[in-house]
Structure 1
Amino acid sequence: MPQSPAPVFEAADEISSEASVVVILQTAQTGFGPRASTLDAEMGGILSRACSDPAALIESGTCIDLIAPQSVSTKRVVVLALGKAEAVTTLSLARAGGLLAAHLEGKGECAPTLVLDPIAGVDLPGAEILARVALGMRLRRYRFDMRNRRQGAGADRTLRVKLVGARGPDLTAALARINAIADGVEYARTLVNLPPNHLHPDNFHDHLEPLREAGIDIEMLDAAQLKELGMNALLAVGSGSARPPRVAVLRYRGKGAPAQPLAFVGKGVCFDSGGLCIKGGAQMFDMKADMGGAAAVVGLLIALARQGSPVHVVGVLGIAENMPSGTALKPRDIITTASGQTVEVFDTDAEGRLLLADCLHYAATRFNPLVIVDLATLTYSVTRGLGSIFAGLFSTDDAIASQMIAAGETVGERFWRLPLDRAYDEGLQSPFADLRHHAKDMEDGDAPYAAAFLRHFTEDRPWVHLDIASKELTDTDRPLGRQGATAFGVQMLEEWVQVTRNMS
């Protein structure tokens, strides 16, 4: 797997005399804590002079890099600015950690010791502060690379980080959660980053091995089984490909978890050419990532299972390729879905809602879930409406919608609630079928019409539809990740599951 080795974090009581790089975590306040003050004295006051400008530590993530004098055993000391104490959050800490990881990588450093002294005015325990910085370091450090001739290819050094300033048991517990989250995010990123000749319906099951290792049950439904289940909409989406569609059913139930699960449904179109309504070349270039919703569900289950979360979740992934051929889905086809409702097809490039229709019905009728959440890179419309800041959220449940929006703000995956109104059903009427699969004018708010369409297949369960189109990839390096896949949605859903579990 072309994925960089995961960083290793371990607790330490104090700064070792063998530490080559020491990183001081510091808010924009007057004076250092005891450990930093001792180091500053050994360095003849260099640290305090470097941070004497009140503005030096205001911007979180700023790295003040100092070469230590020969009288000090450490080679380099970095002061990592955390910003004003009252503005410190778990998200700002993670972003600071990501910027630190990028800085250290640029300097060729792989063995830093992070030092945290008590910080007044920050309403977070020391273990959580260190763990969130560590999370940012892991997410930024992740690299997907298939360049066999890249300098150092296949020999990326493991980042090994010692953490000083929190009780061992507390830090162990905090690291268990952030490492599980990072495992899920990183693997979801890898699935999206894989090229379409490496990840497709014929071999998708092979890439689910990390779930089995985490104790997640996997059931694969092939085309014959989908036919028996009446999942003709999903079969139609994949009918133009030489590789028939599948459904992956994932199940995790932690110790003491309730019988009724949470259900997560993911769109897994491994490549979307648009079908017979074929995309233009530029529109097609990133369509390996049209399975970003399915990847996010995989990442979420890994994150929950690897931390042993006492929850019951199921994942349903609709896996297909949308390709043109003589057997492909055609405009004006009428399909009988698994729910028994018929759908008149128009634009074959609106395939995601067809796939989700059968998967939503399957999840609702087989598992009797408390709530269904689907994730899909579904519409260009949501990007036009919200731009690059927010993803779209539609829900039949006000409380769940509010909880998810809050969870997204906590982790930096932002959602904006969009209308789910019965008035949109008027645009889905067909004289020949129960539903037409999109409105006549796809420029007239396609995202809410898609959500209105999907609601017909949820069996009136509490339901959230997350339209994450244009959030699956980034074309620039960011504090919490390099160019490539983002695994958008994994962290928000993990946060939502944990917060709501603690509320119950």
Structure 2
Amino acid sequence: MVTFAQGDVAGWSSLVDSQVDALAVPVAPAADGDDDVQPRTGTADAAARYGIDLARLADRAGLDGSAGETYTFHLPRALVARDPLPWEGLPDRLVLVGVGTGSDRDLRRAGAALARATTGLARVVTTVASEPGRGAAEAARSFVEGFLLGAYTSPTFGEAPAGARKPETGAGTPELVLLGKHEELVAATAVRATASARATWLVRDLAATPSNVKNPQWMAEQATELSRATGLRVEVLDGDALAAGGFGGILAVGSGSATPPRLVTVAYEPTAEHVADAAKHVVVVGKGITYDTGGLSIKPRESMLPMKTDMAGAAVALATVRAAAELGVGHRVTAVLALAENAFGGASYRPADVLRTYSGTTVEILNTDAEGRIVLADALAYADATLDPDVLIDVATLTGAATVGLGRTHAAVFSEDGGLVDALVAAGEATGERVWQLPLVTEYRSALDSPVADIRHVPGDSSTGAGSITAALFLQTFVGRRHWAHLDIAGPARSTAAAHEVPLGPTGFGARLLVRFLESLG
């Protein structure tokens, strides 16, 4: 929980009691020609109130004020009541937090570091998000998002029954009290930051759930339960309904699994008081492969290990529409979750098969391990034909090629709509979930020509290269004339090491990016 208290350190006596476990104050790098870290808002007041030279304390601790540094000073208590110390009655933990330049990135890192430094505490008061000289609301949002993301703990499946933890609970997160002078702005922004962080928590929780628990049916049940709790409309198409509807791609990918595939649609519509002047309908389609063996084109063991997270795109779509409802954005938002398990079995689809997808387009299969684009083909065509979106965005852990090209810090974005790309890039910069545009090279489209079907889903030979581009070109076939963007999050959706607000394993990348995009959509 995040709350706001009006005032500064000098007048915070109502907050300083036994219920406050720690006070956190910011420090920044030394100014040119100086050796000491710079105090920021509240730090000098805290030094005076505690009677402690905090600059000297920071120097002894070796702090340089860079973003993400913390030092916790545990204050002693007096042995006898007649000899009170200057900090008597104040929190006995004083945390110095490095805020670097005070940029959005640095404040997120500061928030994440404070969360780790205060793990297990109940209530933390801070002046870190009260920095002057920049937007108070944006400062608070970045810091709060960092704090909540850094406080996240991955679900475990030991003594508790598998799947017992409810997603996006944030259990164990300390209450964070923001002390400052911009109550209405900061308080409202803290609400938005909390909703965005909860969306990321949800993606992380769903992606971390092992696939012996998480199959297409389980994902559909989670989406139904979570969405109805938020007042959203949910529709689930099971195997029979998919067959009747002509979803040949999703059915083929899921054919080798004991659990049939699902297509889940979750819809949010703003109330009359929240509708934007130029309200749009944004549809987010997510790849939801609950486990990926590669099918008959089977993966090596090492490549299978992270494949429980191959449904991260669907989790992002679900989290985005739920956050849109929670925040009351002024646009209609619909999530389409294409859910299947790409298993290995006697009924598995094969290389050289020809599938008829929802749009009627036939696809020659060359590699059953390129299944994500097949389920997306059905889902995108369905969205185009039945949902009439003004903006259509798909998000998927789609290609290793995107990871090779951009690493684990950026997602690839593909679109011919420059305004849509600019809006996604801006949202990525604001949230730290950065995207980089790659081109839709029309000359590469011929690599998908097929002698036996309308299109191949992968090139017929390896001479073209550009695997992420040819995948995007394939998807473009199924989006009609919509304003469309494809987000390939294969790299940043999974982390090989914890760093700042990003944990080891599923990162939740994409949820905050799309929430911010919706908030800024004109």
TM-score normalized by the length of structure 2: 0.87
- Aligned-pair CA distance for 1:341: 1.2
- Which residue of 115, 118, 123 maps to 2:134? 123
Q: Does 1:328 align with 2:321?
A: no
- Aligned-pair CA distance for 1:471: 2.3
- Which residue of 168, 177, 181 maps to 1:162? 177
Contact (CA 8 Å) 2:249, 2:358: kept in 1 or not?
A: yes
- Aligned-pair CA distance for 1:128: 3.9
Query: Which residue of structure 1 aligns with residue 107 of structure 2?
Result: 93
SS at match of 2:255: coil
Q: Does 1:210 align with 2:220?
A: no
Per-residue CA shift, 1:261-289, capped at 9, x if unaligned?
Answer: 11110000101111111111111111111
The worse-fitting range, judged by mean Cα deviation, of 205-214 and 93-102 is 205-214
Distance 1:36 1:386 in 2: 40
Distance 1:33 1:259 in 2: 41
Distance 2:312 2:131 in 1: 39
Contact (CA 8 Å) 1:43, 1:68: kept in 2 or not?
A: no
Equivalent residues in 2 for 1:422-433, closer than 5 Å:
422-433=442-453
Per-residue CA shift, 1:5-31, capped at 9, x if unaligned?
Answer: xxx222223252313311113444686
Per-residue CA shift, 1:421-453, capped at 9, x if unaligned?
Answer: 221221111111111111023572221111111
Q: Does 1:415 align with 2:435?
A: yes
Distance 1:262 1:36 in 2: 44
Query: Which residue of structure 2 aligns with residue 381 of structure 1?
Result: 401
What is the root-mean-square deviation in Å for CA atoms of aligned residues?
A: 2.4
Contact (CA 8 Å) 1:201, 1:321: kept in 2 or not?
A: yes
Query: Which residue of structure 2 aligns with residue 102 of structure 1?
Result: 116
TM-score normalized by the length of structure 1: 0.90
* Percentage of pairs with the same residue: 32
| Consecutive unaligned residues in structure 2, runs of 5 or more | 7-11, 32-36, 78-84
Query: Which residue of structure 1 aligns with residue 5 of structure 2?
Result: 12
Query: Which residue of structure 2 aligns with residue 450 of structure 1?
Result: 471
Distance 1:145 1:498 in 2: 29
Q: Does 1:393 align with 2:413?
A: yes
SS at match of 2:199: helix
Distance 2:46 2:488 in 1: 50
Q: Does 1:43 align with 2:50?
A: yes
SS at match of 1:239: helix
Query: Which residue of structure 2 aligns with residue 62 of structure 1?
Result: 69
Structure 1 residues 439 and 117 mapped into 2: Cα distance closer, same or farther (>3 Å)? closer
Q: Report the AA paired with residue 136 of structure 1.
A: G
Structure 1 residues 64 and 325 mapped into 2: Cα distance closer, same or farther (>3 Å)? closer
Q: Does 1:199 align with 2:214?
A: yes
Query: Which residue of structure 2 aligns with residue 235 of structure 1?
Result: 251
- Aligned-pair CA distance for 1:168: 3.2
| Consecutive unaligned residues in structure 1, runs of 5 or more | 1-7
Q: Report the AA paired with residue 161 of structure 1.
A: L
Contact (CA 8 Å) 1:50, 1:64: kept in 2 or not?
A: no
Query: Which residue of structure 2 aligns with residue 176 of structure 1?
Result: 191
Per-residue CA shift, 1:86-107, capped at 9, x if unaligned?
Answer: xx222321111001111222xx
Equivalent residues in 2 for 1:15-26, closer than 5 Å:
15=13, 16-18=15-17, 19-26=20-27
Distance 1:41 1:259 in 2: 52
Contact (CA 8 Å) 1:180, 1:302: kept in 2 or not?
A: no
Distance 1:118 1:182 in 2: 20
Distance 1:358 1:130 in 2: 41
Query: Which residue of structure 1 aligns with residue 502 of structure 2?
Result: 481
Structure 1 residues 442 and 378 mapped into 2: Cα distance closer, same or farther (>3 Å)? farther
- Which residue of 493, 498, 503 maps to 2:519? 498
Distance 2:52 2:307 in 1: 55
Distance 2:469 2:105 in 1: 30
Structure 1 residues 448 and 116 mapped into 2: Cα distance closer, same or farther (>3 Å)? closer
Distance 2:103 2:477 in 1: 40
Contact (CA 8 Å) 1:337, 1:358: kept in 2 or not?
A: yes
Q: Report the AA paired with residue 492 of structure 1.
A: L
